[in-house]
Amino acid sequence: MLSRTADCIYWMSRQIERAENYARLLDVLYQMSLLPGVLDREALRAPLTISGTEALFLSQGELLTIDNLMRFCTLNPRNPSSIYSCLKTARENAHVVRGSITGEMWETINATWLELRDMNRERQSAQGYRHFLDWVKERSHLFRGVTFGTIRRNQAFNFSRLGSFLERADNTLRILLVQASSVTEGISSWEILLRSLSAMESYREIYRDRMVYEDVAELLLLDVSFPRSLHACVMEASQTLELINGPAGLDTRRICAELLANLRYNHISHVLTSGLVPALINYLATLSSLGSSVQSAYLEGV
């Protein structure tokens, strides 16, 4: 497979996963905003901090309110991290590689873009933010299901899965880092984090009614049975890299294997020895190195 084709498929899947993850966080924040006294400024800043767009938002001269935040993060074409921008970029990548993906995959992502393109603030306001965010998540689920159900288990499939799992792992770490770095503490803020990752049911099943950050960190970092944990995502990425193989990816597979071993044979008490924030920063740095290695080993060149 040409590296340019692999690059487009990889980033197509990453951008769709990114749009879904963004929608998850915004959905929970919007729900919490409906409860008096629950949503504070630190929680409102979370999507901007995660995406690195806080300076861009502030440059618009708007107050940080839930409505302004939702408009900026959903349909704003000038925001490179908005849901609009993510799905637009995903569709552009899919268009380049139409011959390497199935017709159903292209039709799904193209239909998503066409419907999004016709969306405006008035229509969004009339339908409600939750309706829009649920639609984004459903379209992401549909694309992922169509991909899994229609494409051959070839290199296109492998690069698509690799992009999805690396993006999902990165999102889990960034959401957890934002909460761990926040000066605001309390049960509600940890619940926002868990609900944004659809992890509340899994958390309650394991830890019952107690809500402490050590247990949240253990679930989201080390629990391989939870599909959005760092451990689960890195394991899937490692297995996918073995299928891609090739001598150019030796360093990439080594970085991934070392990270997987760290997660597999670690305990949350050891992870938190120096504190949660330093641990998350280290994991993010390793994941960034893994992403850079994937880029240089497989996605650059002709």
Please list, residue by residue across 254-292, b when 16 or more beta carbons sit within 10 angstroms of its beta carbon and e when fewer do: ebbeebbebbeeeebeebbeeebeebbeebbebbeebbe
| Residues 142, 29 within the same domain | yes
Q: What is the pLDDT of residue 124?
A: 78
pLDDT 10s digits, 229-288: 999 999 999 999 999 977 788 999 999 999 999 999 999 999 999 899 999 999 999 999
Q: What is the pTM of this model?
A: 0.91
pLDDT 10s digits, 31-81: 878 777 767 787 788 889 888 899 999 999 999 999 999 999 999 999 999
| Residues 138, 159 within the same domain | no
| Residues 104, 199 within the same domain | no
Q: Could you tell me if 71 and 53 are in contact, meaning their C-beta atoms sit under 8 angstroms apart?
A: no
Question: What is the distance between the alpha carbons of residues 191 and 254, in angstroms, rounded to a whole number?
Answer: 35
Q: End-to-end alpha-carbon separation of the chain, Å?
A: 10
In the listed set 151, 178, 200, which residue is the last one of a domain according to the structure? Answer: 151
| Residues 143, 172 within the same domain | no
For residue 287, how far is the Cα from the chain centroid? Answer: 13
pLDDT 10s digits, 86-97: 999 999 999 999
Q: Could you tell me if 263 and 232 are in contact, meaning their C-beta atoms sit under 8 angstroms apart?
A: no
| Residues 159, 57 within the same domain | no
| Residues 147, 157 within the same domain | no
Between 101 and 174, the more confident residue is 101
Q: Phi-psi category of 255—alpha, beta or left, where left has phi over 0 and alpha has psi -120 to 50?
A: alpha
| Residues 183, 276 within the same domain | yes
Total domains, the chain: 2
| Residues 109, 200 within the same domain | no
In the listed set 151, 173, 196, which residue is the last one of a domain according to the structure? Answer: 151
Please list, residue by residue across 95-116, b when 16 or more beta carbons sit within 10 angstroms of its beta carbon and e when fewer do: eebeebbbebbbebbeebbeeb
| Residues 39, 141 within the same domain | yes
| Residues 43, 160 within the same domain | no
Q: Which domain range does residue 117 map to?
A: 1-151
| Residues 144, 8 within the same domain | yes
In the listed set 151, 186, 217, which residue is the last one of a domain according to the structure? Answer: 151
| Residues 111, 230 within the same domain | no
